[in-house]
A and B are shown apart, each in its own frame.
Chain A
Amino acid sequence: IAGITQAPTSQILAAGRRMTLRCTQDMRHNAMYWYRQDLGLGLRLIHYSNTAGTTGKGEVPDGYSVSRANTDDFPLTLASAVPSQTSVYFCASSDLAGAINEQFFGPGTRLTVL
C-alpha cells in the first residue's frame, strides 16, 4: 500500500441499507478526515480524528458515524442510507506535527443511494 486507499471505488445502495466505506493509510499520519464532495459545493467535512481513539464531528455529521481503533484505519458508516447521501466521499490524512500539515487524499468512493 502506498498512501491512502479507499474501498469500494463505487457503490449503488438501496435507501435504508447500512454501508461502511473503508479507508486505510500507511503514512503513519495521526489525523484522518472524511469529506463529501457534491457538484457546486466545496469539500465538506463529515468527521475527523486527530489521533487513534478520538473522533470529532465536522460540518455535516448527521447520518454518519466513524471509529478510529488504530492509526491506519478510519471507516465511515452510514447507518441507514438516504438519497441525499449520494455523493463522492474522500478520505484524507495529515501529519499534525508537520510543518505544513497538508492533507493527502484517497481516490474516493462514488456512492449512489436509490
Chain B
Amino acid sequence: GQNIDQPTEMTATEGAIVQINCTYQTSGFNGLFWYQQHAGEAPTFLSYNVLDGLEEKGRFSSFLSRSKGYSYLLLKELQMKDSASYLCAVMDSNYQLIWGAGTKLIIKP
C-alpha cells in the first residue's frame, strides 16, 4: 500500500530552527511536495523536490533522498506566523498526490 509518515506535532521556539521529517512508500514517484496550512484555511504550496538534494527558498528548505524514501522541511529563524500544519505529499505513478496527515507546528515565544 501507499503510505506517508510524518510526526503529528512538534514544538519549537521563536527564532530557532526546526526540521520536519517525512518518509514515504508509494507506487511510483513523480515528486514530493510540502504545503503549509494555517488553522481554518486552505493548504498553500511551499516546495517541490523531484531530484535528490536540497532546495532552498528563503527561510524554508526542503531535502529529498529518493533511495531512502525520505524528505525533510527545514524552517529557519522561526516566526510566530509559522505556527501551522505542514503537509507532505508524494505524486505517485498516476500523477495523483498521496498526502500525509500533516505535522502541527507550535511556535512558542
Q: Is B a genuine binding partner of A?
A: yes
Shortest Cβ distance from residue A30 to the other chain B in the assembled complex, whole angstroms: 12
* Docked-complex contact B101 and A105, CB < 8 angstroms: no
* Docked-complex contact A107 and B42, CB < 8 angstroms: yes
Shortest Cβ distance from residue A43 to the other chain B in the assembled complex, whole angstroms: 4
* Docked-complex contact B42 and A42, CB < 8 angstroms: no
B-side contacts of A103, CB under 8 Å = 45, 97
Shortest Cβ distance from residue A94 to the other chain B in the assembled complex, whole angstroms: 9
* Docked-complex contact B87 and A107, CB < 8 angstroms: no
B86 within 8 A of A: no
B33 within 8 A of A: yes
Contact residue among B31, B42, B97, B102 (Cβ-Cβ distance under 8 Å from A106): B42
- Which size class do A's interface residues fall under? 10 to 19
- Bound-complex Cα distance A35 to B89 (A): 13
Contact residue among B4, B8, B41, B48 (Cβ-Cβ distance under 8 Å from A102): B48
Interface string of B24-65 (1 = CB under 8 A from A): 000000010100000001111100100000000000000000
B-side contacts of A45, CB under 8 Å = 96-97
A22 within 8 A of B: no
> Which residue of chain B has the shortest Cβ distance to A107 in the bound complex?
B42
B70 within 8 A of A: no
Residues of B within 8 A of A (CB): 4, 8, 31, 33, 41-45, 48, 87, 89, 91, 95-102
Residues of A within 8 A of B (CB): 40-45, 48, 58, 90, 96, 100-108
